[in-house]
């Protein structure tokens, strides 16, 4: 599959909860049709990343672009830039205090102008970010409505008596007005049991999203639900049942049906199998893989261990404590893991080979022992095309050596 169209772009995403930096300056993009695996231990920020992308938070900083449109934007980086500019000006003034020379005056005037420029630019960015965070969906709905009107108004004018056409237009208009860009991103939640309302039937659960977005035709809804049930390997007879009547694997299939019915372009599957028995895990993974082929879906697949994403992902990002530490195509990551945390994750994967298992040593990642960041902080660097590692210059050079 050669498709380079970027569907989702996450740029310098930060999501802080008080002093907890759940996600801290994370960037990656996902191309159309690809499966992107996001891996890391419990608490490293995977779910928070997913929830930030579907706009469950007002993100702290950074941007999320979907199909090139900014759907989420935070303001902290802009506010920081304003604070930094003001601090620099104050320092210049303090340094030149009492100095009445014309050079000093000119320097202060210069610094003042520079600061004022930054402040006004950053304020404009903040305004834009707040607008996008709040209104990108409304703008999208406006656009969809305008497109529909352009298509239907001439037709309606030419056939004023056509009731069927009128009804079709009204139905579509209702949906266009309620259309949201973010519904093209659907999330399958980590815990299938907690994420399904026990008082709703499976039919109600699966069709809820469509109803919210303006579908009123009962027949259409019913048919859609049946189609989805069959698509995920359940049967129509299941439609009237309640979540507690299903096994864990079946519940997760309901979760999949609920997201797929929205005809999304991107599905964020948040550890969709980790609450399930090992024997069921493979079934749900196979289901997602099948849907990906059949529906041309793009997937962000979250897992806490690498063995689950290994055969399934085109590229993998490894997170550690809110940071992305390594990002590479799957094969490359398994062949040339560079960051010590990735190596430790890999060492945790058992292989069905008794000889290997006898020798397999779990590498424990100890950041303080592994890195000396006293002189230079790490940044994300491209070690070879497509393979990024968070490192400083000294490590970068060492990694280059390893790859030779
Ligand atoms: N709503 C919230 N309020 C405060 N802190 C939060 C909130 N959500 C998450 N956190 C914290 O942010 C960090 C990242 O949590 P997150 O749920 O994203 O981790 P995760 O990688 O999905 O972990 P797991 O593999 O256990 O699901 C954790 O320290 C968590 O305690
Ligand atoms: Mg999680």
With residue 193 as reference, give the H or E element that holds it.
none
Any idea of the CA torsion for 65, 68, 71, 76, to the nearest 10 degrees?
A: 50
CA of 43 to the centre of ligand 2 (A): 7
- Residue 254 in any domain: the answer is yes
CA of 191 to the centre of ligand 2 (A): 9
Number of domains, the chain: 2
Q: Domain end: 274, 304, 334, which one?
A: 304
Any idea of the CA torsion for 188, 194, 199, 201, to the nearest 10 degrees?
A: 30
CA of 21 to the centre of ligand 1 (A): 9
Residues 322, 275 share a domain: no
Residues 292, 196 share a domain: yes
Residues 59, 31 share a domain: yes
Residues 379, 348 share a domain: yes
- Give the CATH number of the domain where residue 284 resides: 3.40.50.300
| Ligand 1 atom nearest to 322, measured from its CA | 14
Q: Which residue(s) pair with 254 in the sheet?
A: none
Average pLDDT, the chain: 92
When pLDDT is averaged across residues 381-393 and rounded to a whole number, the result is 97
Residue 2 has pLDDT above 70, yes or no: no
- Residue 276 in any domain: the answer is yes
With residue 389 as reference, give the H or E element that holds it.
strand 387-391
- Residue 326 in any domain: the answer is yes
Q: Domain end: 304, 331, 364, which one?
A: 304
> What is the C-alpha separation between 181 and 185, in angstroms, rounded?
8
Pocket test for ligand 1, best of 14, 26, 37, 45 (most atoms within 8 A of CB): 45
**Ligand nearest, relative to CA of residue 49:** 1
> What is the C-alpha separation between 157 and 189, in angstroms, rounded?
46
Ligand 1 binding pocket includes 60 (Cβ within 6 Å) = no
- Residue 112 in any domain: the answer is no
The pLDDT score that the predictor gives to residue 1 is 44
Ligand 1 binding pocket includes 19 (Cβ within 6 Å) = no
- Residue 24 in any domain: the answer is yes
CA of 276 to the centre of ligand 2 (A): 15
Residues 313, 281 share a domain: no
Instruction: Assess contact for 239 and 229: CB atoms under 8 A.
Output: yes
Burial label, 128 (beta-carbon count in 10 A; 0-12, 13-18, 19+):
middle
Residue 276's domain comprises 180-184+191-304
Residues 258, 227 share a domain: yes
- Residue 53 in any domain: the answer is yes
Confidence class for position 215, pLDDT limits 50, 70, 90: confident
> What is the C-alpha separation between 303 and 271, in angstroms, rounded?
5
- Residue 169 in any domain: the answer is no
Angle (CA) 294-50-45 rounded to 5° is 135
- Residue 125 in any domain: the answer is no
| Ligand 1 atom nearest to 15, measured from its CA | 12
The pLDDT score that the predictor gives to residue 3 is 59
Whose CA is closest to atom 22 on ligand 1?
A: 47
Residues 344, 258 share a domain: no
Q: Domain end: 304, 328, 355, which one?
A: 304
Residues 285, 389 share a domain: no
Residues 48, 2 share a domain: yes
Residues 337, 265 share a domain: no
Residues 15, 62 share a domain: yes
pLDDT in tens, 281-326: 888 888 888 888 888 899 999 988 888 888 789 999 999 999 999 9
Ligand 1 binding pocket includes 304 (Cβ within 6 Å) = yes
The pLDDT score that the predictor gives to residue 282 is 82
DSSP 42-77: TTSSHHHHHHHHTTSS--SEEEEEETTEEEEE--HH
CA of 55 to the centre of ligand 2 (A): 16
pLDDT in tens, 75-95: 999 999 999 999 999 999 999
Residues 246, 331 share a domain: no
> What is the C-alpha separation between 2 and 105, in angstroms, rounded?
59
Strands of 230-339, DSSP E:
266-270, 298-303, 315-320, 323-329
Ligand 1 binding pocket includes 249 (Cβ within 6 Å) = no
Ligand 1 binding pocket includes 38 (Cβ within 6 Å) = no
> What is the C-alpha separation between 391 and 377, in angstroms, rounded?
8
Instruction: Assess contact for 377 and 401: CB atoms under 8 A.
Output: no
Considering only CA atoms, which of 106, 88, 266 is closest in space to residue 187? Answer: 266
> What is the C-alpha separation between 147 and 90, in angstroms, rounded?
52
Q: Which residue(s) pair with 28 in the sheet?
A: 10
| Ligand 1 atom nearest to 50, measured from its CA | 18
């Amino acid at each position: 599959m050669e498709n380079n169209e970027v569907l989702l772009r996450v740029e310098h995403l930060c999501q802080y909860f008080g002093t907890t930096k759940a996600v801290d300056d994370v960037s990656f993009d996902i191309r159309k049709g690809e499966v992107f695996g996001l891996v890391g231990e419990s608490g490293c920020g995977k779910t928070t990343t997913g929830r930030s992308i579907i706009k469950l938070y007002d993100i702290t900083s950074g941007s999320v672009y979907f199909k090139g449109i900014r759907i989420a934007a935070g303001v902290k980086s802009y506010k920081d830039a304003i604070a930094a500019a003001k601090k620099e000006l104050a320092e210049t003034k303090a340094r030149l205090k009492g100095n009445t020379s014309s050079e000093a005056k000119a320097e202060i005037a210069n610094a003042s102008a520079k600061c004022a420029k930054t402040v006004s630019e950053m304020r404009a960015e903040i305004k834009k970010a707040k607008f996008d965070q709040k209104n990108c969906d409304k703008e999208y709905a406006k656009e969809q409505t305008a497109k529909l009107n352009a298509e239907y108004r001439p037709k309606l004018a030419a056939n004023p008596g056509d009731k069927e056409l009128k009804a079709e237009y009204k139905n579509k208009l209702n949906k266009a007005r309620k259309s949201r860009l973010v519904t093209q991103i659907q999330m399958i939640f980590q815990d299938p049991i907690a994420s399904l309302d026990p008082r709703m039937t499976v039919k109600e659960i699966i069709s809820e999203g469509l109803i919210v977005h303006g579908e009123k035709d009962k027949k259409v809804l019913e048919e859609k639900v049946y189609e989805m049930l069959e698509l995920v390997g359940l049967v129509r007879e299941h439609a009237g049942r309640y979540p507690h009547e299903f096994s864990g694997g079946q519940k997760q299939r309901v979760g999949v049906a609920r997201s797929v019915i929205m005809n999304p372009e991107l599905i964020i599957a948040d550890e969709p199998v980790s609450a399930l028995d090992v024997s069921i895990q493979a079934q749900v993974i196979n289901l997602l893989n099948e849907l990906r082929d059949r529906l041309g879906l793009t997937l962000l697949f979250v897992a806490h261990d690498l063995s689950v994403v290994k055969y399934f992902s085109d590229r993998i990002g490894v997170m550690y404590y809110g940071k992305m530490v390594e990002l590479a195509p799957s094969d490359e990551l398994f062949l040339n893991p560079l960051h010590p945390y990735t190596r430790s994750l890999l060492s945790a994967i058992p292989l069905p080979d008794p000889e290997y298992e006898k020798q397999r040593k779990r590498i424990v990642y100890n950041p303080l022992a592994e890195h000396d960041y006293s002189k230079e902080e790490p940044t994300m660097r491209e070690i070879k095309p497509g393979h990024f590692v968070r490192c400083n210059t000294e490590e970068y050079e060492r990694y280059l050596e390893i790859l030779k």
